[in-house]
Structure 1
Amino acid sequence: MKTITAYFTSQIHLQAFIKQNDIQDSSQLLIQIFTSNNELAAITKLTNFFANHFPLAQLIGSTTDGEIKDGYVSTNKTVISFTLFEKVKLKTYISDTFENYYQAGQELASALVEENSKVIISFIDGLEGNGEEYLKGIHSIASKIIVAGGLAGDNATFKKTYIFTKEKVVSRGVVGVSLSSESLNVFTDYSFNWIAMGKKLTITKAKDNRVFTIDGRSAVDTYIYYLGEDIGEQLPYIGIEFPLIIQRDGLDIARAPIGREEDGSLIFAGNLHEGDEVRFGYGDIDAILGRTQTHVDKLFNVPVETIFIYSCMARRRFIPEAIEYETLVYNQIAPTNGFYTYGEFYCSPENKELLNQSMSLLALSESSTLSNKKVTLHSNHKKSSTVHALSHLISVSTQEIDSIQKELKILASTDPMTKLYNRRYFTDISTNIFQIAKREQESLSIIMLDIDKFKNINDTFGHRTGDSVLIKLSKLLQKALRTSDVICRYGGEEFVVLLPQTDLDGSAVVAEEIRKKVEQTVLKIEKNSIKFTISLGVSEVNFEKEHSIEQTLNRADDAMYASKNSGRNRVSQKESVSNSKA
């Protein structure tokens, strides 16, 4: 395997470069073009040149927000990378005829992936392209294939991007090349190191990659509220410096805004879902560059013959003077080329992810020879003690806010005495579980239970003993029930249990087991041996007649009081019972 790269200035100079380096047309020659030139005519002229002079070679290309040639970063240039393989089979695909990007990913994977395919290098439209859905589509067809590449750029004008092959240039579409060979070694990595800051915010309304509201505010107003009017006026362009950060599969993933709508919503480079918890991200140059050596060291004792970097535009624009510190060092290991994207692809062991604000790396080798070259990063970048102190302050303050938020969340959702969920939390979670069970057509049941003659316990032994009885019952319930069951202290001596995937007969069996365990329990407090019983009522949701969990809850409550009226210490599962209370 050999990679040779050139800047394109004219066809005459390109022909001279090809002749000088003896680059021959071959079905095992991969040509990648990374160009800042967004003129359709210019791109078409260049691709026609390769169609005429390299009919056997495979070519994919993308417009950019910056280019990488042999580790050097440029703008307003066109980089052409020639990689000649010895054993790898190459196959390209391009399409702009699909209903959505999930389908586009499925169709590309179906067309490209073969039995020994190791990796797909792919570029998609940077403005309309939904990279997350696209990767999901690929994953649904070929879960083990590695995907590298990213979203096309257009020099941050956010008007039109292009991706292309020799035969076709499209502004809305997908392109990819599969690399198939048993002897191909593939290594991937990514570098992020943006700092999450402030409290967690919740996405309250979103559809795919369009976010309408965050914590009830419009997405634009949320940026203005936390970062100021000046930042709000510069959206979406300034958004690359302050992305939203979410954690998925153990990865910190940024979502940067790339579009702004009149209704105050923002279009992000990847999906965000209702209920997602996010924080604003802050870029610290020292933190970003400080981890470069760690990532470079990962390539020690790894087979490497060529490296491709697909990095986020935000990194280049955030640290333009220092950005080459994290690219040139890789060229000391192997030829390093690529471009700056509007979103980069990365494969983790669990999934395929669309990243923002990250630098993704693809290292390839047909040789099994391990790289034993120790490379040390030499940076002239001067660290700022002030910036470092502020970054540390942001990090520590964020951790403290997170800790406080967790404590407040626990306080808001749990009963302080029994440590069970409280009535407020039960109301919220039961509604969600009701909707899920209805959608999935699964059984859902409720147990209501109450301590019999609890007032007598308090009057006879005192309220402290009564509290001990409540705590003991709580522990018995936690031990007897599944982790998927929701247990709540509903009020006073009354408890409620929500049992997913459980029908009426099943919940009645569970209720009877609980009743027996309670009946057999002896609570010893000082010199007193206290026994107590409970009355229980069960009901199953009837989705044809009941439109909310409250209706089922009322029937369980009625059934529980039927047990009390029938002598207590028993389980009732009547569907229609008296409203009288005992």
Structure 2
Amino acid sequence: MKSINTYYTDLTGLRSFIQAHSIENSPSLLIQVFTARNDKQFIEELLIHLGIVLPKAIIIGSTTDGEIMDGKVSTDKTVLSFTKFEHTRLKTEVAIHQKDGFFSGQSLARSLIQDDTKLIIAFADGLHTNGEAFLEGIHSVNTDVIVGGGLAADHATFDQTYVFTKESVITQGAVAVALSGRELNVYNDYSFNWRCIGKELTITKAENNRVYTIDDRTAVDTYIHYLGKEMAEGLPAIGIEFPLISSHDGVMVARAVLSKHEDGSLSFAGNLRLGEKVQFGYGDPVEILKYSNTMLNNVKNKPSETIFIYSCMARRHFMPDLIERETLPFQNVAPTAGFFTYGEFFTSRKKELLNQSMTILSLSESDSVSMQNPELILSEPQVSSTPINALIHLVNMTSHEAMEQEALQQAQVRFETLFEKSPDGIVLIEYGSFTQCNQKMLDMFAYDSEKDFLTASPLQVFPKRQPDASHSFRHLKEMKERATREGSCQFEFVFKKATGVTFWTDVMLTRMEVNGQDIFYVVCRDISRKKEMEIELSRQKNILYYQANHDDLTGLANRTLFMKELEKGLSESAKSEKELAIFFIDLDRFKKINDSLGHDVGDKMIHIVGERLKRNIRKGDIVARLGGDEFLLMMRNVEQYEDILAEAGRILKILDDPIAIAEHTLYSTASIGISRYPVDDLSASNLLKYADTAMYKAKEEGGNNFQFYASEMTDIAYEDVMIERDLREGIKNKDFEVYYQPQIDLRSEQIVGVEALVRWQHPVVGILSPDIFLPLAEKTGLINELDLWVMQTAMHEISVWYAEGLNPGVLALNVGMTQLEYPSFIDEIKKNFKMYDLDPKWLEVEIIENEVMKNPEKVIGILEALHLLGISIAIDDFGTGYSSLSHLKRLPIDTLKIDKSFITDIPNNEDAIVIVNTMIALAESLRLKVIAEGVETKAQKDFLLSHGCHNVQGYYYSKALSSKEMRAVLLAQSKELLG
């Protein structure tokens, strides 16, 4: 038997490799293909090339989450492993899943297994195969044949995996090759060493490999509950790193998550049965590498001419920098190849599907044993602190109470008395060995006898390395030398109990001279609890710092951290003489999405936008969330103006892409304002202010664009300040006037109401439309004062007209959420009723539909209070918002006002006709009055009258009139009625 491995590039390179190594075209040649290219066309082309140069060879292959060639790990290559057998027969078979994995395994076994079959190497697709059932199918035919291989992978995308032979490339099934022959030696082994953490859980509802509930929680909720919502959102991928572990006939078996379902259930790589006990698993790199070394020692003592490794992708992801420590030494025993899987096949007492494991197959047609003596590098790896470290700490934390630290006992005259009464562990060291210790020392180190402790080797009482990665023995030697020089020294050190558990101690090492001989007096105190508290305190400080400098929703920097980084960036730019740019980013139409679909959807959208920005900025730049839908970006070290243009264009593009949240597909572009250092200013505050000003310019240009700051923008902002000043003066000086637009009953052609509208008689410009000053009034908070004045003036004039015998009908007042939420709003209405002797039935409050939907529950309460006073309620601009029928039925409303945008196109637009008729029918079904706004033509009037809408307002009858003009119209109507 001979094996050789290579990376595939193209047909030319393949020919050269085969010729250079004299690879024989033979049915006894097995080619295994492990490819990172998850591309069916590429695989088919590769198989054609292999068929051209080695048409008689046997081929099986799989897509991967990483490849192993000669012990080295890759993630973007295609590995070809050639094994030429001398005395072994090969046979391949393909099984397409018809029912489930059991029948596929059974079918393959029946087709492949012969009397002298020693091994089946099988690859099954990683997304549709119940691996455990597949192996049970093989086991049902034959219990002796060893099975190796695993489930195909696709780099954790969980989209599509492929397995293949020379003739077939499939996505739902399995391929296998049987190796038969009396002289074939097969040795298999596996390394697991995933640590169980947390409490034991029970499977409470499951069907084969689909688990519905665990401890009566849905499977997804179980992951959320124990690992946190943010981490559980990574399912199914996170379920590879944190599998469920159970014991199968004494073999610890992990079950990785393959897919997540809408009902909250999860599909695992193998079966989990009702009542089965499971725990979450987490990788321990130290133990993983330790057992891998044991496995290496086992295999090098076996006949071995080739080694195949089928290892779980979780091992590669969990310790990417260490994985070759595990695979590379096997190359020193025999040529080694394999791949990283979504589940590994292993035969022990029975055939098992494993996860989180590394399995090996060692094959030989000879009985000779390699003389190589490879070893793994067993220095403890440094694994960075992660949220899971905190989880392990939480789950496994002991419940004993903290012990108060006691001062060290002063040296006693006699050592024996000190040993008996000391609360600390004490040991004497003479001639480099332990010579005497007290009972406290034995208790601390969990030794039953003094002899066992005093004769223990160094590595039995302390780990090879300390938590800071320093070498334990070297560290103790340095402390001993220091105590020799200075008389004593105190330090913290991690020791190891007889049970193997490590613990922190505070050590006082003192040198004494007795009869000319140095004796070291060692006092140890267990400070494990103190260290736990220190670690927790440090963690809490880190959390507080993070919370103070980061946005809770997105995890991005907040304004505080951004300004710190900006000051630092300005200082760097001043030294490097390079530009710096600030982007002020505001989402377009976000408020509409947030108001209509709710804050949960809005929050998710903000989170997604933050993720997109974070993923797409340059290295060294910083993105922050200012609040709401506003983000900031700082570009450091800008080489040229075009770099800023490119970055702005890229941000607009990534934010223009649709956002999928639940059943919604949302679109929200952005407006970006850009300021530059040192072009626009030198100070951080001004640069931020100028970027904000430029952003508003982008908004004015229609959004979905970016604008650079220009000094003219400051002039425009100054104009806004001036208008605000005039507005305040105007309210103070009562420069406003109430206008009225009549509402007409089409059946009688008589006025049945008037809508109050406000106009500003500017002392310099003249009459200004509400479109100019009302948004500014809203922005500056002057709207309440203005609205209260309009309400008081209109109610006064209506009461005067009634007193004169005129009949203006119902007074319609427009009210926004700001005014509704004003604390004394209802009291002001009551006061005006009393002051002007006005009957509440002559007042109607209009609120825009979108305003209602901002907070329907709160609005309902306020409107009900108004309704109890006898005031009628109208929904204005109906049809432009997102109110539901359920909300309409609950609202205490009397009138629906159809928005003029729907009236404009009737009677010539079929869509408009359908919408208006539907609104009229809805009003009739709810027994509501309906008014059409914006009626400007006779055709519109006639259509509305004929379709049951009897009340209208619009330019066809009258524009908004001044108080004097309105009184004249009412007087004329009164005379006409009197004849």
TM-score where L is the length of structure 2:
0.40
**Cα distance between partner residues in 2 of 1:13 and 1:247:** 47
Structure 2: unaligned runs, 5 residues or longer: 401-979
* Residue 104 (str. 1) matches residue 86 (str. 2): no
Q: Which residue of 1 aligns with 2:44?
A: 44
Aligned to 2:261: 261
What amino acid is aligned across from residue 175 of structure 1 in structure 2?
A: V
Conserved 8 A contact 1:124-1:152: yes
- Tell me which residue corresponds to 1:509: none
Maintained 8 Å contact 1:195/1:395:
no
- Rounded to whole Å, the distance in 2 between the matches of 1:216 and 1:36 is 39
For residues 326-350 of structure 1, the C-alpha deviation after alignment (integer angstroms, 9 at most, x for no partner) is 00011111111000000000101x2
Q: Tell me the CA shift for residue 300 of structure 1.
A: 3.4
Is the aligned partner of 1:246 residue 2:246? yes
The answer as to whether partners of 2:97 and 2:103 remain within 8 angstroms in 1 is: no
CA distance in 2, matches of 1:358, 1:398: 27
CA distance in 1, matches of 2:298, 2:324: 19
Partner of 1:361: 360
- Is the 8 Å Cα contact of residues 198 and 398 (structure 1) preserved in structure 2? no
Task: Decide which structure has greater helix share.
Answer: 2
> Counterpart of 1:176?
176
Q: Does 1:209 align with 2:209?
A: yes
What is the DSSP-based 3-state SS (H/G/I as helix, E as strand, rest coil) of the residue aligned with 1:24? coil
SS of the equivalent of 1:26 reads: coil
Query: C-alpha offsets along residues 533-569 of structure 1, whole Å, 9 cap, x if unaligned?
Result: xxxxxxxxxxxxxxxxxxxxxxxxxxxxxxxxxxxxx
The whole-number CA distance in structure 2 between the counterparts of 1:242 and 1:171 is: 26
Q: Distance in 1 between matches of 2:18 and 2:243?
A: 42
Q: Corresponding residue for 1:26?
A: 26
Residues in 2 aligned to 1:399 and 1:272: alpha-carbon distance in whole angstroms: 30
Structure-1 residue corresponding to 2:651: none
SS at match of 1:34: strand
What TM-score do you get using the length of structure 1 for normalisation?
0.66
Could you say which residue in structure 1 is the equivalent of 2:373?
A: 374
2:92 maps to: 92
- Residue in 1 that maps onto 2:326: 326
Partner of 1:314: 314
Kept in 2, the 8 Å contact 1:51–1:167? The answer is: no
Please name the residue that 2:8 is paired with: 8
> How far apart are the structure 1 equivalents of 2:217 and 2:335?
47
Q: Any conservation in 2 of the 1:68–1:337 contact (CA below 8 Å)? A: yes
Q: Distance in 1 between matches of 2:170 and 2:293?
A: 38
- 1:285 alignment counterpart: 285
Aligned to 1:140: 140
Q: Kindly tell me: are residues 296 and 222 of structure 1, through their superposed partners in 2, closer, same or farther at Cα, counting changes over 3 Å?
A: same
Once the 2 structures are TM-superposed, how far is the Cα of residue 97 of structure 1 from its aligned partner?
A: 5.4
Partner-residue secondary structure (3-state), 2:73: strand
CA 1:198–1:398 in structure 2 vs 1: closer, same or farther (change >3 Å)?
Answer: farther
1:428-447 CA-partner distances (Å, limit 9, x unpaired): xxxxxxxxxxxxxxxxxxxx
Provide the rounded CA distance (Å) in 2 between the counterparts of 1:150 and 1:292. Answer: 19
In structure 1, distance between residues paired with 2:346 and 2:299:
17
| Counterpart amino acid of residue 193 in structure 1 | N
**What letter corresponds to residue 250 of structure 1 in structure 2?**
G
Measured in 1, the distance between the counterparts of 2:189 and 2:16 equals 35
Task: Give the structure 2 partner of residue 200 of structure 1.
Answer: 200
| 1:51 positional shift | 2.3
Q: 1:325 to 1:220 in 2, by over 3 A?
A: same
Residue 36 to residue 161, structure 1, CA distance change in 2 (3 Å)? same
Q: CA deviation at 1:183?
A: 0.6
Indicate conservation of the 8 Å contact 2:30/2:82, yes or no.
Answer: yes
Structure 1 gap segments, 5+ residues each: 402-582
Give the structure 1 partner of residue 655 of structure 2.
none
What letter corresponds to residue 334 of structure 1 in structure 2? A
Give the CA deviation at 1:281: 0.5
- Mapping of residues 415-564 of structure 1, within 5 Å: none
Name the counterpart of 1:298: 298
Question: Deviations 1:154-196 (Å, cap 9, x if unpaired)?
Answer: 1111111111111111111110000001011100000011100
Distance of 1:400 and 1:281 partners within structure 2: 22
Take 1:83 and 1:377, find their aligned partners in 2: how far apart are those partners? Answer: 26
Give % identity: 52
**In the aligned structure 2, how far is the partner of 1:385 from the partner of 1:20?**
45
- Name the SS for the 1:25 alignment partner: coil
Q: Secondary structure at the match of 2:32?
A: strand
Aligned match of 2:620: none
Q: Does the 8 A contact of 1:322 with 1:381 survive in 2?
A: no
Is the CA contact 1:197–1:398 (under 8 Å) kept in the aligned structure 2? no
Please give the alpha-carbon distance, in whole angstroms, between the structure 2 residues aligned to 1:385 and 1:149.
32
Q: Determine which structure has more spread, i.e. the larger CA radius of gyration.
A: 2
**Cα displacement string for residues 72-95 of structure 1 (whole angstroms, at most 9, x for unaligned residues):** 000011000000010000000012
Residue aligned with 2:87, SS = coil
From the superposition, tell whether residues 377 and 282 of structure 1 become closer, same or farther in structure 2 (CA, over 3 Å). same
What is the CA deviation profile of residues 508-538 of structure 1, one whole-angstrom value per residue up to 9, with x for unaligned ones?
xxxxxxxxxxxxxxxxxxxxxxxxxxxxxxx
- SS in structure 1 of the partner of residue 373 of structure 2: coil
The match for 1:65 is 65
CA distance in 2, matches of 1:195, 1:174: 31
Q: In structure 2, what residue type is equivalent to 1:174?
A: A
Amino acid at match of 1:20: A
Secondary structure in 2 matching 1:339: strand
Q: 8 Å contact 2:197–2:392 — kept in the other structure?
A: no
Rounded Cα–Cα distance in structure 1 between residues aligned with 2:35 and 2:160: 13
2:15 is paired with a residue of what secondary structure?
helix
Question: For the residues of structure 2 that align with 1:268 and 1:75, how far apart are their CA atoms?
Answer: 24
User: Any idea what the Cα deviations from partners look like across 1:114-156, whole Å, max 9, x if unmatched?
Assistant: 1100000000010001110010000010110000000001111
Cα offset, 1:49, TM superposition: 1.7
> RMSD between aligned alpha carbons?
2.2
Compared with structure 1, are the counterparts of its residues 328 and 8 closer, same or farther at alpha carbon in structure 2 (3 Å cutoff)? same
Question: How many angstroms apart in 1 are the aligned matches of 2:230 and 2:395?
Answer: 26
CA distance in 2, matches of 1:58, 1:395: 52
Partner Cα separation in structure 1 for residue 394 and residue 347 of structure 2:
27
Structure 2 contact 198–392 (Cα < 8 Å) conserved: no
